[in-house]
Amino acid sequence: MTTMRVPRTRGAVSGLVLVLLGVWGALIPLIGPYFHYAYTPDTAWTLTAGRTWLEIVPGAATVLGGIVLLVSASRPVAMAGAGLAAAAGAWFALGTVLSPIWPAASSLNPGTPAGTTILIRQVEHLGFFTGLGVVIVFVAALALGRLMVFAVRDRQIALDREPAVAEPDTSSGEPTTARTTTTSTTSTRPGRGSLHSFGRWLVARRS
């Protein structure tokens, strides 16, 4: 259906923001120690099970969802990308809370903030997990809301893509091709569409 098509610009900004947030979430545990902004172990490019499943995997999922939202012109596909990013953001925010009480993930240790003051440790927690996840969910929810709305521009795209239909000419018995009545908006001059249709009908009568 043509109503399932949306302009690629509809999710462009949200998709780009999600890609950037996903890149941050996946890379900050690996490069953060260079800037003294890290969780233990406080060493760069060190992979642990906690870093992989609690940060890198949801970061990659956010990047993928953002790319889908950025390039897709299909409403269901773009919504699926936004939904994937929202789920990844929720895992960022809740993964460290659920993993200790989830038997299958109880071995995932996110580490502890490596900051030397309470303020730095709070900023590290927000930037690595909770705050990052909340922002990702918020941006993805905004994108989903925009995609669920059938805007005036979407209606115009649907009309432009609507195929021509054949309407029978009761006088001659031969079908004449005419667009649906809703496509009369293609002309801005009043009465032009009616005159054009009348002219085609007259030509068909004479033939």
Chain segment 170-195, per-residue pLDDT in tens: 555 555 444 444 444 444 444 455 55
Q: How many domains does the chain have?
A: 2
**pLDDT-based confidence at residue 197 (cuts at 50, 70, 90):** low
Full domain range(s) for residue 201? 165-206
pTM of the complete model:
0.72
**Residue 89 contacts residue 76 (beta carbons within 8 Å):** no
Q: What pLDDT is attached to residue 101?
A: 87
| Measured distance CA(50)–CA(129) in Å, rounded | 12
Residue at 122 is within a domain: yes
| Measured distance CA(182)–CA(133) in Å, rounded | 45
Residue 161 has pLDDT above 60, yes or no: no
* Pair 134, 112 in one domain: yes
**pLDDT-based confidence at residue 148 (cuts at 50, 70, 90):** confident
* Pair 143, 171 in one domain: no
* Pair 171, 147 in one domain: no
Residue at 20 is within a domain: yes
Buried b (16+ CB within 10 A) or exposed e, 51-76: bebbbbbbbebbbbbbbbbbebeebe
Q: Can you name the residues that pair with 113 across neighbouring β-strands?
A: 39
Q: What pLDDT is attached to residue 183?
A: 42
Mean pLDDT confidence for 5-18: 84
* Pair 115, 179 in one domain: no
* Pair 136, 177 in one domain: no
* Pair 150, 169 in one domain: no
